[in-house]
A and B are shown apart, each in its own frame.
Chain A
Amino acid sequence: MTRILADRAARLLDFLWSGWAGLAALALLFACWQAGHETWGDFILPDPLATLGATWSLAISSESRGLLLLTAQRALAGFTLAAFSGAVIGIIAGYAPAVMRLARPLLTVVLGVPPIAWIVLTMMWFGTSGATVAATILISATPVVFVAAAEGIASRDRGLGTMAEVFRYGALGRFWFIDLRQAAAPLFPALALALGTSFKVAVMAEMLANAGGVGGALARARAMLDVPQALAWVVLAVIALVVVEYGLIRPMQAEIEGWRRAAQPWGVKK
């Protein structure tokens, strides 16, 4: 038990240490931003500090937190739907080559349609509601999850399945302990990607469908040509995405894919 805790702590420290690199990258971004601000002036690119100030005042106002929460909720709801349906159909396609052959061309068509077109269609189907946002996310984020799940299952090491069968694992046990575990490797990066797509599409759909949330607030800022306000909302939306990704997806991935660290030369050896 203490070993596990120590391991967790080591991983957390390791992660925080790697945060320095992230901090350096952020500092670089702010330096470029500041330079852009000084070149083009306040109207095109406001002062980064002023933007951070605007972000802060948005963050502490309960009204805007409500908007952010609404968008995050919609994004997460759409993401959950997309992750679930993509994984389920993908796993089926991974086992059944016939389903895969059917799904491939469909996928090409679905992926070929720009998300914005889906927003227009779903708006006409569902009106300006949360359902429009959820449906658009579902359509845009499902394919990546589907492809990853299908690849993960189709490219599984069948030898491990045979081994499990020797040791009396039934079909369900093999699926749970062997196949699903192998599919996790491509699935997690795809889930992170789908989550990002969910947030982006949520904001976009809200803006176009005038469905409130961060998208609605962005539309208002645009109408009033309030660039700092618009940027502040963007920063908030990015922060929300990062919080969800590093609070939900990455820890799960670290838990399940932790063994890969052992393969790294600098991996912590017990």
Chain B
Amino acid sequence: MSAALELHRIGHAYFGQSVLNSIDLQIAPGEVVALVGPSGSGKSTLAHIAAGLVEPREGRVTPGYARHAMIFQEPRLLPWATAAQNIGFALRRAKLPRRLRPARVAEAARLAELEPQDLAKYPVELSGGMRQRVAIARALAVRPDFIFFDEPFTALDVALKRRMQDLVIAAAEEAQFAALFITHDLVEALRIAHRIAVLDLRGRGIAGLRILPGDPGARDEATTFALRQRFLTEDPLFRHIHDVDERRRP
């Protein structure tokens, strides 16, 4: 089976300042890979390159998926459009006949656990969590087989974060998409992903990969906690994940 996404020796620099170097990564269809790394290590840049938004200085991106979507740290909703219109915004370019769009919007809203009455509201009328749900629904509406998540839940409080993670796990099971899930929260990565990739502190390659046991949906609390303990105390790969000061980057 060919990969849903293949990154081959990706390198990038901003204004002559190297950000990423020889990044190799393959993601299988239906596989969720969490990419962890401290802030400023180039995760967002890598996601933009992988999604074709930024042309890499070096290397090659080979997408094997049919349709992608992205969920950003901020919801990035159109303030002048209602929640339903925001979800529909993605569908205008999805080659879906106009008359089928309302049903698709409703389906996506259900997957993102949005209440029907919230669909008529404007983003200013929604809470932060609801806005991010709309962004998730917008991504799911195009029925992507690959989703890029760029630290989507960082701005949410702990309880809400967990509910959103559960939502993504359930949606991934139902909709069967592959994903690159960027986060700097190890527990989040352990809950959501099939595999964890750790980005080098300075973006010099993928420092290492760890395969997580079982399917994300079947992984219970105790397993997640045990994994976290093991990775943080015994695995040198995760030694620097929490102790980096991005201000000291070159």
A interface residues with partner B (beta carbon < 8 Å): 157, 159-160, 162-169, 173, 177-178, 181, 256-257, 259, 262-263, 269-270
Min Cβ gap A173→B in Å is 7
| Residue among B81, B89, B138 with most chain A CB within 10 A | B89
Whether the Cβ atoms of B124 and A163 lie closer than 8 Å is no
Partner of A167, one of B69, B80, B81, B125: B69
Which chain B residues border A259 with CB–CB below 8 Å? 79-81, 122, 124
Seed contacts A162-B48, A167-B90; 12 additional CB < 8 Å A-B pairs = A157-B76, A163-B70, A165-B53, A166-B53, A166-B70, A167-B69, A167-B93, A168-B93, A168-B94, A169-B93, A181-B78, A270-B121
What mask results when residues 73 to 105 of chain B are scored 1 for a CB within 8 Å of chain A, else 0? 010101111000000011001100000000000
Whether the Cβ atoms of B72 and A163 lie closer than 8 Å is yes
Whether the Cβ atoms of B89 and A167 lie closer than 8 Å is yes
With contact pairs A167-B69, A259-B122 given, residues A162 and B80 touching in the complex (Cβ less than 8 Å): no
Min Cβ gap A116→B in Å is 40
Say whether B13 faces chain A, with CB atoms less than 8 Å apart: no
Q: Closest residue to B141 on the A side, CB-wise?
A: A167
Say whether B156 faces chain A, with CB atoms less than 8 Å apart: no
Whether the Cβ atoms of B125 and A159 lie closer than 8 Å is no
Q: Closest residue to B124 on the A side, CB-wise?
A: A263
Interface pairs (25), CB distance under 8 Å: A157-B76, A159-B72, A159-B76, A162-B48, A162-B53, A162-B76, A163-B72, A163-B76, A165-B53, A166-B51, A166-B53, A166-B70, A167-B89, A168-B93, A168-B94, A169-B93, A181-B78, A259-B79, A259-B80, A259-B81, A259-B122, A262-B122, A262-B124, A262-B125, A269-B125
